[in-house]
Structure 1
Amino acid sequence: MKGVLCLIAAGLYLCLQIHVDAESRLSRSVIERAVFEAKAQVDSAYEYSRRESIERVKRNSASPADVLRLMKQPAGATRTAVRAADYMDNALTLIKRSLGSRQKRSINATDLISEEDLRIIADLTGCNARHRLPSCRTTPNLDKFRTASSVCNNRKNPLFGSSNTPLTRWLPAEYQDKISLPKGWDPRRRVNRRFLPLVREVSNRILHTTVVDTDPLFTHLLTIFAQWTDHDLSFTPHSPVIRSFSSGIDCDKSCDRTEPCFPVEIPRQDPRFGRNSEECIPFFRSAPTCGSGNTGHLFGAATVRQQMNTLTAFIDAGQVYGSDEAKARLLRDLSSDKGLLRVNTEFTDNGRELLPFEMKSTNMCATRARITRNNNAQEVPCFLGGDERTNENIALTSLHTLGLREHNRLARGLAKLNPHWDGERIYQEARKIMGAYFQILTYRDFLPRIIGPDAVNKFLPAYTGFDEKVDPGVSNVFATAAFRFGHLMIQPFIFRLDEKYTAHEKYPTTLLHRSLFTPWRVVFEGGLDPIVRGLVGRRAKLNTQRHMLTDELRERLFKFTADLALDLGALNMQRSRDHGLPGYSKWREFCNLSVPRNRRQLRTVLQNKTMADSLMDLYRTTKNIDVWLGAASEPLVRGGRVGPLFACLIATQFQKIRRGDRLWWENKGVFTDAQREALKKTSFARIICDNTGITELPKQPFENTPVSKLTKCSNIPVVDLWPWKENIK
């Protein structure tokens, strides 16, 4: 059998004769040539995107879409993994097109390419290396300390919960072509016999509000802690390119849908339509993983496109320490043998430590001149933290800074108790304590206030031990929809308060969009104390069915210039379609909740006729309602801040994380009995007291507390490090 394979790379057209035997084997030379040309395509797109990004940032002309893409860039080991996946995906796409054209039908590449050939392609593109199982026998101290990537947490399944592995699927993906194309990729194709509404139209009709309902019980810290926790668990990178692999189209300059461009179309009746000649908001697909799509069976995975989680699935303070060995070492102060993390060498916060600066050719945090309209304003680089989103907003930056300071405080305390410990031991012990801190804070203080007592009792009763059969991997629906509930609890302001918990005269409260990527506000505008007081002294936004998403996130996200800003609600729904998530009804069924099948039943579930009617007018069927929106529209559970579906999905994920973590703080042998008793005294209030100049605050910082009932730091229990003293015999 003969065929013609035509490849396009760097403007050159190349057609090869393909010899395929009865078993669909390709010659080695043809495979090597195809991979070579695919790599040329990808490398060309990567280089174009790199140059464009550098130039835009240097000109201070980065658009909101640029900011989102740069924030979602894979780095280090993740970038290598993403590039390998792009190589393989594009090599197979080229071969698939040629073979399909020869047979005059649309095909799955694996229909005509043998498994042996697929393995060769995986080897040549580097995809196989991504999935080789590590050896857990040669890694030191596995019983005492986590690896940075959490490889070998589970000895029998070393990749369970580790970084740079695919997000797990609790329900099968629903792609337009059953393999990889997003739902709604072709807007003329029906889904469940109905056309999908534009996500921006849904946002306009359902999410828009100019009113903010304040939470009667909880502080804004609860909201930011949700974001902090999310950044410990999941990060799904984009492909680093801004140009189509196949056509060379710049995704920022076109509304065409061509991999990896999946733009958000702006409806004609939208006030944005036609502004600056724009008819869409740029949107980039999440990068595929090696071991997904057409090649999934090579790695024991499904043959549909999967997305990557670059972080570990465990509560391990990865947003402080990083989730791979290279990043972890970058964050450490290796100039001494004291087990410390690196700190800023140019600035301090009234003598207290600040995060170090990133050393990059692009500085997306050079926003001061634009925001203050002072061309002479001194800019500073972005802060460097364990997660790429450290600078997303100054409230989140503050929590990252608290994490840095607390590690170094613990390291110094442990060194005094154990002067014979070297820096490695001090670092690992302090990191282990930090992981335990946030496990306790998350499960004891945070989750009950989010999912409510009923879900806690059902899914998260008393700890029963490690189960090596449980895969703790972060699920696609959790990362892409359920744990984005916090977007509906974000205030349109970052509050800054003085010592009396009143509006700060010198450093006033700022609008949220003017606090994004602004580390200079921490450096030059009073440091952490005013921001942290604002988090514990002001209320969270309450998600209600009438007032869902503030326009700071819907109309002004990443708006530093005149360019069209992003719409976070629309992005959430577009991301769900990009990842092929099933619709609202199927997830209700997954959670054993009643499944609304018509308008009347949806009214009953939502307890809101107007909301149900609006959703049905847009989607026409409950099967197509985007899961994030459907779950966000539900009334809140008793004692919680999410509806029944989100409560189920969030609780299920955290149940798996705890049961599948061999190094969970309560698991026998991880800590001594005395150490566990000491750890139980941890509190976020104590962390604030020990690492800021704040002397009075709520004893329970997630709960609204009148100023007259604040607690002095001297009355807040401390964690005694004495159980960590090692007796030398």
Structure 2
Amino acid sequence: MLFRSKRRKKRSARERRLLRCESLEHRQLLAADFGGYRHNVYDSEDVNDDGRVSAMDALLIINAMTSETTHDEIMFTDVNDDGRRSALDALRVINRIERGDVFPLDRDLDDEPSIQIPEMPSEIRSIDGTGNNIQNDAWGSVGQTLIRSAPAAYGDGISMPAGADRPSAREVSNVLSEMNTSESLSDRGLSAFVYVWGQFIDHDLGLSESEEHGKAIDIVVPTGDPWFDPAGTGEAVIPMTRTPIVEGTGTSVDNPAEQFNQITAYIDGSMVYGSDIGTAEALRTFEGGRMAMSDEGLIPMDASGMVIAGDVRASENVGLTAIQTLFVREHNRLAGDIAASDPEATDEEIYQRSRLVVTSLIQSITYNEFLPAILGEQAIDSYSGYDASVNPGIANEFSTAAFRFGHSTLRDEVGFMSNDGRESQDEMELKDAFFHASMLEETGIDSLLKYDASVQCQEVDLGVVDSLRNFLFGPPGAGGLDLVAMNIQRGRDHGVSDYNAAREAYGLPRVETFDQITGEVDLQQKLASLYGSVDNIDLWVGLMAEDHQREASVGELAGLIIADQFQRTRDGDRFFYKNVLTDSEIESIERSTLADLIERNTSVEGLQENVFLMQAEIRGRVILASSLPPSTIPGELREDEMRGVAGVVIELIDGSGKLVDSTTSDGHGNYRFRSMSETGDYQVRLSESDETIDVLVAHGGERIRGLDFLVFG
């Protein structure tokens, strides 16, 4: 029999909490973390992890606060995940009990309050970013010089690439980034939406595209490289050209070369709407405020098969094209609602009101869902209003190094899933999904978006899948590139400072040994063999090598660089949604999660509330049959009326028959699995027995309980 979790009574969106990412486990605790207490990532108020939230959980916290012996090895007393145990933790449990909701409930789109659409604003955000800051008209606009937090580190102090004494970027890639993808999934349960949204937002913030016929900065390929120099000629290179620089820079050590941002630095939906008037107008129909879209609900394509979007990179992979398409659909859906409710509204009014809502949704999802998933809850200060003294410009350290963390999170395949969480068609290799937007005419975007919410991404580390490291945009020798090597080489091209210098620039102490960067001994040795000194490490490499912070999926410096950028981007934006919308409009925007937006514009149903997390759980008990009264059903008895059996091995099998995990029942007979890396069919098996339970994990937030086994003895 196939087991599915029972649907529970729905609750309105106004009663729902916005789920945030919480740490599952840590690569290495830093010194400051040793005083922290344990936190239950799956259900924070379930302190004793017994599957229920009760007065016992609050009592355990209160007792632990007054006891010299914490027993935190068996309790999760840090309910709010702030690294402390306090009355606030007990209060959250008590509030949860009063609400009466034991486990996260299913989402119900029918209960969603509709988005409040603002009236036509008195002032409209410019398409190119100018005029946002009244005192500094050009801040954040197209063409602005990238900010440097650390001094430029060119080889000659002027413009020559940095790192002349470092190994080839391809050699660094070969030593550090070859990976076994099956052993490197996110240990915090982040979903594939982390890299889909990360790329989407990256294309809203920055573009420093190299010129087609610019000055070469080719990457030297080691002799005999198995992919790029299999014949051992020693002459192979990975072609690359330098980023153009600001005119008038690069003339002396007092005026080093500087790069510039070719789009706006604001989160203003420029990847949807463009960063110049010509692009913006080319995307519009000028009828009813709508944007151009095919009859099939897809973004139009040009003669070469590339989609016509606000950003030139929208066709880079089908996952990115799918999310681009989603937001054009949302714009047109809003435009239809506005036209229906306000027949007198002009095309321009409808377009600008829809654009305001879409931009606000992008901002809200970024700050309320995406960034907490990556950085943790406390990384960015609470919003306190627009600050005209803040320059929102993009930092070179951010765009060239820190925000390229997402390259390590991509899986090596692209999949398609139906609403039940099962594959709807065969996966395709990621390398075959580059510049293949026409494929969406056959697949649509629905199954791709469901897949992104239903699988875990790769871990944020130095490992990068083959499709990006050896086959980016084509096979070696026929367009194939190495994204890792390009990240490193681009940092050298921009004269970005080394890892230690960047630490100092961002207010952190310099490291003196490799083990202060990472606790992984093998990685320490590899870094030492490549760089020799901790003062010579390429910034991207150092950031990706860092041990993760306790509450985050990135390291100390990476988290600071990313947080700094997004805080400045927000605080220096006069048109940030919290600065221009009313309280009720803000509330309606923030209650519309990415999951809601997907379900509004596709046939996808039943997504977990926070699609940036794929954290499913299966649990049950092993019960001694002789402890049950005659003719009773285990599920109808209280747990204390059933005798559990300890020490029984239970196995988790996936749909292909592969052993995923095994565990042993505890002293009360309880067992659980949290090792599902994707949705679909599983089987729970009593080891050394033919007794099994088939179970379907339909979405990435599934909590399936009551998979009980009876044993005789």
Could you tell me which of 679, 689, 710 is aligned with 2:589? Answer: 679
Pairing 1:333–2:285 present: yes
Cα offset, 1:528, TM superposition = 0.8
What SS does the corresponding residue of 1:495 show, helix, strand or coil? strand
Pairing 1:317–2:269 present: yes
Could you tell me which of 156, 175, 192 is aligned with 1:177? Answer: 156
* Cα deviation digits, residues 176-224 of structure 1 (max 9, x gap): 222222114xx4xxxxxxx211111111111111333222512111221
Pairing 1:487–2:437 present: no
Amino acid at match of 1:638: R
Which residue number corresponds to residue 586 of structure 1?
501
Cα offset, 1:564, TM superposition = 6.1
* Cα deviation digits, residues 266-289 of structure 1 (max 9, x gap): 112422464476521101111112
Does the CA-based 8 Å contact 2:420-2:699 persist in structure 1?
no
Cα offset, 1:425, TM superposition = 0.8
- 1:351-500 matches, cutoff 5 A: 353-359=297-303, 363=304, 381-454=305-378, 456=379, 460-500=380-420
Does the CA-based 8 Å contact 1:266-1:272 persist in structure 2?
no
TM-score, length basis structure 1: 0.66
Does the CA-based 8 Å contact 2:149-2:502 persist in structure 1?
no
Could you tell me which of 178, 184, 192 is aligned with 1:208? Answer: 178
Cα offset, 1:478, TM superposition = 0.5
| Structure 2, unpaired ranges of 5+ | 1-119, 617-678, 680-695, 701-713
Does the CA-based 8 Å contact 2:158-2:252 persist in structure 1?
no
2:589 and 2:422 map into 1 onto residues whose CA distance is: 33
1:451 and 1:433 map into 2 onto residues whose CA distance is: 26
1:274 and 1:604 map into 2 onto residues whose CA distance is: 35
Could you tell me which of 605, 617, 625 is aligned with 2:537? Answer: 625
Does the CA-based 8 Å contact 1:358-1:382 persist in structure 2?
yes
2:458 and 2:315 map into 1 onto residues whose CA distance is: 22
Pairing 1:241–2:184 present: no
Cα offset, 1:641, TM superposition = 1.4
Does the CA-based 8 Å contact 1:210-1:551 persist in structure 2?
no
Pairing 1:542–2:464 present: no
Does the CA-based 8 Å contact 1:220-1:540 persist in structure 2?
yes
Distance 1:662 1:491, change over 3 A: same
Counting matched residue pairs gives 500
Which residue number corresponds to residue 480 of structure 2?
565
Does the CA-based 8 Å contact 2:381-2:567 persist in structure 1?
no
What SS does the corresponding residue of 2:275 show, helix, strand or coil? coil
Which residue number corresponds to residue 307 of structure 1?
259
Cα offset, 1:677, TM superposition = 2.4
Does the CA-based 8 Å contact 1:636-1:642 persist in structure 2?
yes
Which residue number corresponds to residue 128 of structure 2?
149
Which residue number corresponds to residue 265 of structure 1?
220
1:397 and 1:307 map into 2 onto residues whose CA distance is: 27
Amino acid at match of 1:174: A
Cα offset, 1:499, TM superposition = 3.3
Distance 1:326 1:295, change over 3 A: farther
- 1:281-292 matches, cutoff 5 A: 281-292=238-249
The percent identity for this pair of structures is 32
Distance 1:673 1:273, change over 3 A: closer
1:166 and 1:468 map into 2 onto residues whose CA distance is: 18
TM-score, length basis structure 2: 0.67
1:383 and 1:561 map into 2 onto residues whose CA distance is: 25
Which residue number corresponds to residue 635 of structure 1?
547
Does the CA-based 8 Å contact 1:478-1:653 persist in structure 2?
yes
* Cα deviation digits, residues 207-256 of structure 1 (max 9, x gap): 111333222512111221111111110111112316xxxxxxxxxxxxxx
1:440 and 1:171 map into 2 onto residues whose CA distance is: 30
| Structure 1, unpaired ranges of 5+ | 1-140, 188-194, 243-259, 297-301, 364-380, 713-729
Cα offset, 1:543, TM superposition = 2.8
What SS does the corresponding residue of 1:510 show, helix, strand or coil? strand
1:437 and 1:488 map into 2 onto residues whose CA distance is: 26
What SS does the corresponding residue of 2:324 show, helix, strand or coil? helix
* Cα deviation digits, residues 59-85 of structure 1 (max 9, x gap): xxxxxxxxxxxxxxxxxxxxxxxxxxx
Does the CA-based 8 Å contact 1:494-1:515 persist in structure 2?
yes
Cα offset, 1:142, TM superposition = 8.9
Does the CA-based 8 Å contact 2:145-2:260 persist in structure 1?
yes
What SS does the corresponding residue of 1:697 show, helix, strand or coil? coil
Which residue number corresponds to residue 703 of structure 1?
613
Which residue number corresponds to residue 572 of structure 2?
660
Which residue number corresponds to residue 79 of structure 1?
none
1:291 and 1:563 map into 2 onto residues whose CA distance is: 36
Quick check: which one's helix share is greater?
1
Which residue number corresponds to residue 470 of structure 2?
555
Distance 1:386 1:632, change over 3 A: same
Which residue number corresponds to residue 279 of structure 1?
236
